[in-house]
Structure 1
Amino acid sequence: MSRSAVWHPFTQHAVEPALPSVALTEGAYLQTDDGRRILDAISSWWVVTHGHRHPAIVEAIRSTAETLDQIIFAGLTHAPAEELASALIGLAPKGLDWVFYSDSGSTSVEVALKMALGYFRNIGSPRARIVVVESSYHGDTIGTMSVGARSVFNAAYEPLLFDVDTIPFPAKDREQETLDAFEAFSRDRQAAAVIVEPLVLGAGGMRMYPPRILAELKRIAEASGTLFIADEVMTGWTSKGLTGGAIPLAATLATDVIFRAYYSADRSRTFFHSSSYTANPIACAAALANIAVWRDEPVIERVTTLSRLQAEGVRRFAGDPRFADVRVTGTIAAFELAVANSGYLAEVGPKLRAFFLKRDLLVRPLGNVIYLLPPYCVNASELGRLHDAIDEAADLVRQAP
């Protein structure tokens, strides 16, 4: 077989071994060409919420494709997009009244940033500063890299990135420093918007903070007239899990106040943003099917059970000297290994990934941070297998010279 011409994301091809080829997906598993069944412990990068190829979502894609494919969404509309927007507004917190579609987490954040800056321009206010949280990650486009932590991910593109105001991560017992810093930026710099990853910073190392801090950040934003952008990359599904992981789709939800700043007979106040595949009908149908799964199946019970199992599994590592920290939020568990070299480029990361893959487990550590974010269909036995593998991996790391 000739070499592949595919350039894979977040992959250093000079040191990676041959990549397994997946021939079939089903439930929590990926089956390779040679028949291996790999347990998907990270929901294929956090998107496959219910498991692979959920029948209801697959059927929605198939049936919609018989009548609709991509339709330009400037000047036209269609039923799947209209129905999905109504469903999302019905599920969202009160006050979010408008839905703008895009096709990925990065683009949905770009939309939110552009909405915020355009809002202040349209109402005649000079606000243009964005406040961000230390160690955050919001995507790989220019705008989203600008509001993410400066790191190896974006060092090459520094000349293109715009300046932001950074507040410290609300670490345990230091949360007030974060709140005070944000209050100062909101007051003294008249921030246009603050962008946060609610409760869990994902690619920044699965760092977690309590809901009360999120609520307080929102309160400060509202008091100062600063717009609040919640990038639900880890704890919501307006991008990552909107279609249950079956097909790309994202949505940015906005208040009526934001929409009205653009609503005008003056066409120069239009929100000038789109992508070629905005509101793809097949993707919207998949998202509607996903919402129906949440409504019609015992998904909340599955999430509750999986959260309990994660918490119980993490408890066995509490106080374990092999780990600098273990933590859990909902169905997400993180295990931070106590090693000399930490961070995304820590040498232990690729070694751990290979260790897990050899055992038919798909786990992609963030450097020295092993995390589990499995689909809700994972059972107690499978989760126990993952926790046992982490125990074994920690022993091997400690024994390594």
Structure 2
Amino acid sequence: LSVVLTTDAVYAAFYDDEVARGFLHSHSYTGNPLACRAALATLDLFEQTDALRQNVGTSQRLAAQFAPLTAHPRVRHARQRGMVFAWDVLSSLPDFGRRFARHALAQGLLLRPIGHTLYAMPPYVIDEAEGELLARGALAALDATLAEETSPAPVSGVPDGV
């Protein structure tokens, strides 16, 4: 569920085909009545099962499972907020995201990077084996993507647009 309200001037400032300028407002499933009902049921489950407390342990486990990806020599600015993970990748590939998504799919994962930034937002019910599959598959997809480079990655910093 989401809504974005702004003035025409602010909208115009972010309107661009370049991801770096875009205002990425996560509009998927906006206002969908079925999603609204599912959200209400989820809030009931949160109250009944103390899911948020349990998620602290799950997010710590996932952070440990993602440690090899976080430590990858081409990863910069690894970050986590609860069950949301992100990693910026140094790569000379202008279509890095498309290539990574293809390699992730070959690993059985639906992952959609934005530019040179990888994201993982696993479901709260992810178990240990599924977390390991996600972590191993994301790392394998990253290595496969970087193997397609024909020129070296930038020496320092993060590529433009990340």
Do the two structures share a fold, i.e. TM-score over 0.5? Answer: yes
Contact 1:314 1:327 in 2 (8 A): no
- Identity within the alignment, %: 18
Q: Larger radius of gyration, structure 1 or 2?
A: 1
Deviation for aligned residue 1:248 = 4.2
Distance in 2, matches of 1:147 and 1:377, equals 40
Partner of 2:124: 376
Partner of 1:358: 106
Contact 1:203 1:366 in 2 (8 A): no
Contact 1:310 1:332 in 2 (8 A): no
1:247 and 2:34 aligned: yes
Deviation for aligned residue 1:331 = 0.5
2:14 partner SS:
coil
1:392 partner SS:
helix
Distance in 2, matches of 1:315 and 1:399, equals 21
Pairing 1:105-254 to 2, within 5 Å after superposition = 105-106=2-3, 109-110=4-5, 113=6, 146=11, 149-152=14-17, 203=24, 247-249=34-36
1:105 partner SS:
coil
Contact 1:242 1:290 in 2 (8 A): no
Amino acid in the other structure paired with 2:56: T
Q: Which runs of 4+ in 1 moved over 4 A?
A: 239-243
List runs of 5+ in structure 2 lacking aligned partners.
151-162
Query: Which of 49, 58, 62 does residue 306 from structure 1 map onto?
Result: 58
Amino acid in the other structure paired with 2:105: L
Amino acid in the other structure paired with 2:116: N
Q: Which has the higher strand share?
A: 1
Distance in 2, matches of 1:105 and 1:332, equals 17
Q: Structure 1's 316 and 287: CA in aligned 2 closer, same or farther, altered over 3 A?
A: closer
Q: Could you list the per-position Cα deviations for residues 265-312 of structure 1 after superposition, in whole angstroms to 9, with x for gaps in the alignment? A: xxxxxxxxxxxxxxxxxx4xx443332111112311332122112322
CA RMSD of aligned residues (A): 3.4
2:78 partner SS:
strand
Q: Structure 1's 149 and 399: CA in aligned 2 closer, same or farther, altered over 3 A?
A: same
Pairing 1:286-365 to 2, within 5 Å after superposition = 286-341=38-93, 346-365=94-113
Contact 2:70 2:78 in 1 (8 A): yes
Deviation for aligned residue 1:147 = 7.7
Contact 2:100 2:141 in 1 (8 A): yes
Distance in 1, matches of 2:54 and 2:61, equals 11
Q: Structure 1's 393 and 289: CA in aligned 2 closer, same or farther, altered over 3 A?
A: closer
Partner of 1:252: none
Amino acid in the other structure paired with 1:373: M
Partner of 1:253: none
Q: Structure 1's 294 and 348: CA in aligned 2 closer, same or farther, altered over 3 A?
A: same
Contact 1:339 1:368 in 2 (8 A): yes
Q: Which has the higher helix share?
A: 2
Contact 1:334 1:372 in 2 (8 A): yes
Q: Structure 1's 287 and 394: CA in aligned 2 closer, same or farther, altered over 3 A?
A: closer
